[in-house]
Amino acid sequence: AALNGFQIDVQLNIMSFLSPQDLCHLGSTSCYWRAAVQDPLLWRYFLLRDLPSWTSVDWKSLPDVEIFNKASSEVSDNALYDYMAVRSLKSSRPRYGAVTSFLQSLVTQAEPRFAMFGPGLEELDDSLVQKMMTCPEILLVAGLPHRQIHGIGSGVSFQFNNGQKFNIVTLYSTTSVERRRAREEQAVAVNKMFYQENSIVGNQQAVHYSVIAQVRKVCEVVDGFIYVANGEAQREHDRQEELARILAMIDPALGPPNRPLLVLSCVSHVGVERIPCVYMAHQLQLNLLRQPWMMQDTVAATLDGLLDGIEWLLEEANCKNAQ
């Protein structure tokens, strides 16, 4: 029995050097190897090994937090995510095509409109919005702002690479002068989009935010939300407060409860150390949200990852509008 256990350990060690694709091929060779490659410890190893390299995660594919926090012997079989199933969920999403775009144009006359907000718009050395406005080879500006939403402005219209247009209303925490001063002083600008309401949960005081009247009017008319998080590892982040502000924006009292949320985990440029998006999703407790969400790694200086996130957001918003 001891020898058999030793052989299994050696076998698992050897299989850990194979790719998941190689293991699938190995499992198809015989009943013995099919059973061997289904060992949950092996797939947990692959999951934990590869999680930091994931560039996106969504409400369907976020691994349960107990996988990170418990020892192998304490994690139930149900909690051990099937690595292949998780990755297939992320790759099975249909790509946008001309037919989809044409059919959608028949369903709705209005451009999908999204409210974009968050500290990643203001704290980074490179401006995501400025890059979006000046990089037509990646994202084409299809219309400049004009006053439309109760004095706030309708935002900027962009054109996706399949020809579909969409509109982004960018909401900043305060004035450009105050934002610039906060960046220069490496301080946090006072966020004037929200006002704080304290409530008691159990024996503890909980922070609860509501949006000001002008922002409320925006939230009532948009088809989805883009939250730009600061994904840089060297900065301190108050994720609990960030969650409270996200919840204030997506409050179901302000509109349909199933509107999608795209979270861009943004860093200034490629060389900056970032927090892996799976860990970011748990820090922000996105698993508590009841509507579809996706977190996408993004680079402000190059717009890497942005189109993947926008594609998902358009698909989700168009599905909701078609319903």
Phi-psi region of 255 (alpha: psi -120 to 50; beta: other; left: phi over 0): left
Task: Output the pLDDT for position 147.
Answer: 56
Looking at the fold, whether 52 and 185 belong to one and the same domain comes out as no
Residues 13 and 142 in one domain: no
Strand 165-170 and strand 204-211: the pairing is: unpaired
Per the DSSP assignment, residues forming a β-bridge with 115 are 169, 225
> In which band, very low, low, confident or very high, does the pLDDT at 91 lie, cut at 50, 70 and 90?
very low
CA 157, CA 168: separation in Å to the nearest integer? Answer: 6
pLDDT score, position 107? 38
Distance CA 230, CA 222 (A): 23
* Model pLDDT, residue 99: 39
Is position 11 within any domain? yes
Does residue 299 belong to any structural domain of this protein? yes
Judgement on whether residues 315 and 213 belong to the same structural domain of the protein:
yes
The C-alpha torsion from 89 through 83 and 48 to 53, rounded to 10°, is: -40
Instruction: Please compute the mean of the pLDDT values over residues 52-62 and round it to a whole number.
Output: 90
CATH of the domain at 13: 1.20.1280.50
Q: What is the mean pLDDT of residues 17-29?
A: 79
Domain boundary among 24, 56, 89: 89
Measure CA of the first residue to CA of the last residue in the chain; give whole Å.
Answer: 59
Do 117 and 83 belong to one domain?
A: no
Q: Count CB atoms within 10 A of the CB of residue 27.
A: 16
Whether the per-residue pLDDT at 15 is higher than 60: the answer is yes
Whether 98 maps to a domain, the answer reads: no
Q: Are residues 183 and 59 in the same domain?
A: no
Percent of the chain with pLDDT over 90: 46
- 130 assigned to some structural domain: yes
| 53 in the same domain as 21 | yes
Look at residues 231, 123, 230 and name the one whose alpha carbon lies nearest to residue 186: 123
Domain boundary among 59, 89, 119: 89
Among 237, 215, 297, smallest CA distance to 262 is for: 297
Confidence (pLDDT) at 76: 54
Q: Does 176 share its domain with 255?
A: yes
pLDDT digit string, tens, across residues 97-115: 443 443 343 334 478 999 9
Neighbours of 19 (CB within 10 A): 9
Range of the domain at 28: 3-69+79-89
Is the same domain home to 175 and 43? no
**Same domain as 132, residue 83:** no
CA–CA separation, 25 and 267 (whole Å): 38
Domain co-membership, 157 together with 202: yes
- Does 311 lie in the same domain as 253? yes
Query: pLDDT per residue over 68-78, tens digit each?
Result: 665 555 555 55
Q: Is the per-residue pLDDT at 86 higher than 80?
A: no
Rounded to the nearest integer, the mean pLDDT of the chain is 81
Q: What is the pLDDT of residue 78?
A: 53
> Residue 228, Cα to own-chain centre: how many angstroms?
9
Q: Can you give the pLDDT at residue 186?
A: 75
Q: What is the pLDDT of residues 206-241, one digit of tens each?
A: 778 999 998 999 999 999 999 999 999 998 889 999
Residues 111 and 221 in one domain: yes
Residue 52 has pLDDT above 80, yes or no: yes
Using alpha carbons, select from 33, 259, 28 the residue that is nearest to residue 12. 33
Give me the pLDDT at residue 102, please.
Answer: 39
List pLDDT tens digits, range 153-204: 568 999 988 788 999 999 998 888 888 887 778 777 788 999 987 766 666 6
Within-domain flag for 190: yes
The reply to whether 97 falls in a domain is no
In a domain? residue 253? yes
Domain boundary residue, one of 57, 89, 121: 89
Domain count, the chain: 2
Judge if pTM exceeds 0.85: no
